[in-house]
Structure formats: structure tokens, C-alpha cells
Chain A
């Protein structure tokens, strides 16, 4: 079989993978500022594309992790073949598209590593993989980076609200300024995405070039590889943006400007620091960690454990599942030319399915804007007005109790339950109801059951 042909095939597949990565992840960076109206959709998408392009050029540490550490190639190690990498990529792409069709949250980075590891094990046995590198540069960062980002986002959100907290009597909305800050913080997230995600593809292409004998082992990515990966992710980001714009308004988690700014700053810091040390992590997971952390940093936040569990399982499943598909693809590919053709056809069919599906423009609860947005739903934050209403009701009940004869009243529990439809309606009525809400707030404050510090920017965002 022609080696050059396989290598070329892998390069094309890897670039396609890079494209889908950008396509999939635009929303992580740009959905919030578009939603809060800080930046025009067209501008946001173009900006994200350019910053991904720039980010891809900034550093190559992650690419080196993928090409030089994960799989023991060259002398003293296992001779990995371009065929294995081909099979690994097929595994990653197929798993990515399956999860996308099913609306399961997953990480394309983990799919990539899973596929490569599975294929390498089938192709060359268990000793082909450097498990130390897998644990220290892929698995541990996958757990720790979202935790770090989440904790920092929690603290940053607290800080943002604390630092802008002013007396009730002071005029002017205070946190509107964060909306403009979000233009910069989400730009940083886009840049960070380029530094981490574009490089995974560079690493794979470099790996196949080394395996095919076109490049010396232990060297970094060539310039044309960096350039083409940067372009692929930028074009993917740009085209992915249009899908987001079309689906805008289909249920974004409500993120306030101050909270969004804090979350994005934490995400960008965590990813940039990790990229610098060569950790190949999932930008989606880090961004999700930040969104959850910053949500918890706001008043009245609660965790929806069932949603959290579903997302967590999706994340855990990715690496082994993509590994399984990669292993299967490697097994088939080892049948010879026929196997490669079967793999390629299977890959093409799945990609075709994805294309048809994306044309349908069907947006449900599960495949709404982005995985990060889904993660945002883990944290439930009672609306200020709702909290006031609950407090008021409780106060009334107390008053009724002390006044004498008991009447069955609705429990405060019920009043506080968030019904999505009711929530939407309420958002619409917000403007009209503000005066009553303020009056209710005053009463509640007198009773002393709630404090009024985090809602002061309500009027700014609409």
C-alpha cells in the first residue's frame, strides 16, 4: 500500500477534524457576548476566527505533547504506522459525530486521544502507549483544569460582585461596564482555544509525518502544518458561528455580564497556563467548569445534580468509547487495502450524516447552543424577583400565623420552583414588574429575610 497516500489521507482527515473542532467550539467563546448584546454577531464570529488563527501560532507545547510523548515512537519504542493514526482519527471523528447526533456532551480532544490510544494498542500492543504521559498530560489535566477554572471563577465572580457593590441610594447601573469587558474576555477565550485545540491537530499531523519517515523523530511541527491547522480551525470557527447566530434565542442559560466576564477570564487564564505547560486539555470542559463555578458564586445558586451527572458521564465515556472505535478501525485497517477502504467509507458515511443533520437546523434542548451552555444549566439561580416573592410569601404566612385562624396557603417551596415557561414569561414582564419588585424588595428588606446585593444590574442587560 502506498505510504504517501495514507499520510496524505491522514493529513486531510486531521484538518477536517480541526475544522469540526472550530465549528463546534465557537459558541464556547462567543455565545455569551452575542447574547448580552455586547458585540454584533457577525463581528463576534469574525473576531473569534481571527483570534483562533493567531492563537494557533502562539505556542507549540501541546503539539509536542501529542507528537512526541503520548505514543512511544522511534528508537527504543514501537514503530507506529500511519495506518494506526488513520484508524485513530476515524475513531475520534466517528465518536465525535455520534455524540453530536445524540446530543451528548463530549470532548473532541478526548475523542482524539482515545482514538489514537485505541488504535496504537491494537496496532502494536499495550506497550505502545506511554501511560505516564497519558496520565500526567491528558487524564489529570482533564480532571484538575476544570476544577481549577471552576474554583477561580467562583472566587472571581464573588470578587466582581463585591468590588462593584454600592449603596442602594447610589444612582446609575453599576455592572453594565462588564458587558464591554466581555468583548475582551471572550476574545481571550477564543485565543486560548487556538493555542490548545489547533495544536492537537498539529501534533497528529506531525506524528504521522514522523511515522511515515517524512520528518525526524522528536522535532516540532513544520511551518506548513502550523499554518494549515490554524486556517482549518479559523474557517471552522467562522462557519460554526453562523449556526449559532441562527439558533440564537433558543434558550441560552442566563449569564449576567459580570458573571460572564469572571468566568471567561478564568477560562482563558486556565487554558493559556495549561497550554504553556503542554497540557492537552478539553477547552469545553474548562469553560464548563468556569461557568458552573461562576454560577455558584452568585446568590441563590443551587446545583442541578441530575444534569451535572449526565454531563459527567458523557465526559467519562469519551476516552474509552473513542478508544474502542479507534481500536475497531485499526483492526479493520490491518486487513489491508480493503480495510482502509471500509474505514474510509464508514467515515465518509458518518460525515455525510452530520452534514445532512446540520442542514436540518433542528434545535432541541440537548443540542442547543453549546456544551458549555448545557453545563451552565447545572447551576440554578433563583431570580431576584422570585427570591423576593418567596420571602414575601413566607413573611405573609408568618403574619397569618400570628394573626390567628389558619388558612391553607401555598408553600414557599412551590413559589420558588423554577418553571421554564413561567421564567421566560417573567423575563418578558420584568420591565413592567420592576416597580412592584422594588416595592417587594423594600418590604422583604424590612423583614430582613433576604439581602439585596447581587441583583442591582438587572436593568442593564436588556
Chain B
């Protein structure tokens, strides 16, 4: 019987990295938006911008993940 344990390791690591990256960056965005609403007027746009940047990171991570698994793109 030939069991490909490496494949399971790949699934585990890929799941861990992608889920934590997406949740972490999206969570950071959520936090920064909340921080922005508390911040003084002058610094608000900066926090907002960083928040949207975090959301963008999450979106790019998802997009890259899908790109990786679709054979048609390679």
C-alpha cells in the first residue's frame, strides 16, 4: 500500500497558511476600520487606507490560491 503522506502535509500546511493569512489580514482590516473611527480627524484617512490595504491583501491571497489550483491557468 502506497500512501502519500507528503500530500497530507501539503494539505495541512496549505490550509494553515492560507486560512491564517486570510483571517489575519481581514481581521486587521476590521480592526483598523474601528481604530479609524476612534482616531482624530487628521489621521482617519491613513487608518482607512491601511484597512483597505489589509482587505486587499486578503483578496489577493484568495485570488492567488485559486490561481494555484486551476490547471487551466498554467
Contacts and interface: CB of A to CB of B under 8 A. Distances in A.
A277 interface: yes
A160 interface: yes
Interface residues of B, number: 39
Most buried by A among B3, B4, B16, B27: B27
Contacts, number: 129
A156 interface: yes
B71 interface: yes
Interface stretch (A244-252, A263-271, A313-321): A263-271
A382 to B, nearest CB: 23
A127 interface: no
Interface stretch (A12-20, A165-173, A331-339): A165-173
Contact of B19 (A60, A141, A269): A269
A148 interface: yes
B23 A279 contact: no
Interface centre among B29, B31, B72 (most CB of A within 10 A): B31
Nearest to A277: B7
Contacts of B34: 164, 166, 170, 172-174, 177
A225 interface: no
B37 A155 contact: no
A272 B10 contact: no
A262 B12 CA distance: 16
Contacts of A172: 34, 37-38
A129 to B, nearest CB: 12
Contacts of B27: 159-160, 163-164, 178, 258
B2 to A, nearest CB: 6
A86 to B, nearest CB: 29
Label chain A's interface by main secondary structure: helix
A277 B10 contact: yes
B62 A152 contact: no
Contacts of A178: 26-27, 30
A188 B34 CA distance: 26
A101 interface: no
Interface string A110-144: 00000000000000000000011001100011001
B28 to A, nearest CB: 6
A166 B19 contact: no
A152 B11 CA distance: 11
Given A155-B16, A156-B19, A277 B11 contact: yes
A269 B3 contact: no
Interface in B27-74: 27-31, 33-35, 37-38, 58-59, 62, 65-66, 68-72
A297 B13 CA distance: 19
A206 B15 CA distance: 30
Contact of A265 (B7, B19, B29, B30): B19
A209 interface: no
Contacts of B12: 144, 148
A448 to B, nearest CB: 26
Interface in A5-46: none
A262 B19 contact: yes
B56 to A, nearest CB: 13
A96 interface: no
Nearest to B8: A144
Given A164-B31, A170-B34, A184-B62, A59 B19 contact: no
Interface in A141-194: 141, 144-145, 148-149, 151-153, 155-156, 159-160, 163-164, 166, 170-178, 181, 184-185, 188, 191
10 A-B pairs with least C-beta separation: A177-B30, A163-B27, A273-B14, A276-B69, A269-B18, A156-B23, A132-B1, A269-B15, A266-B19, A136-B3
30 contacts: A58-B69, A135-B3, A136-B1, A140-B8, A148-B16, A151-B16, A153-B19, A159-B24, A166-B35, A170-B34, A170-B35, A171-B38, A173-B34, A174-B30, A177-B33, A177-B34, A184-B59, A188-B62, A258-B27, A261-B26, A262-B19, A265-B19, A265-B22, A266-B19, A269-B15, A270-B11, A272-B65, A273-B15, A273-B69, A279-B11
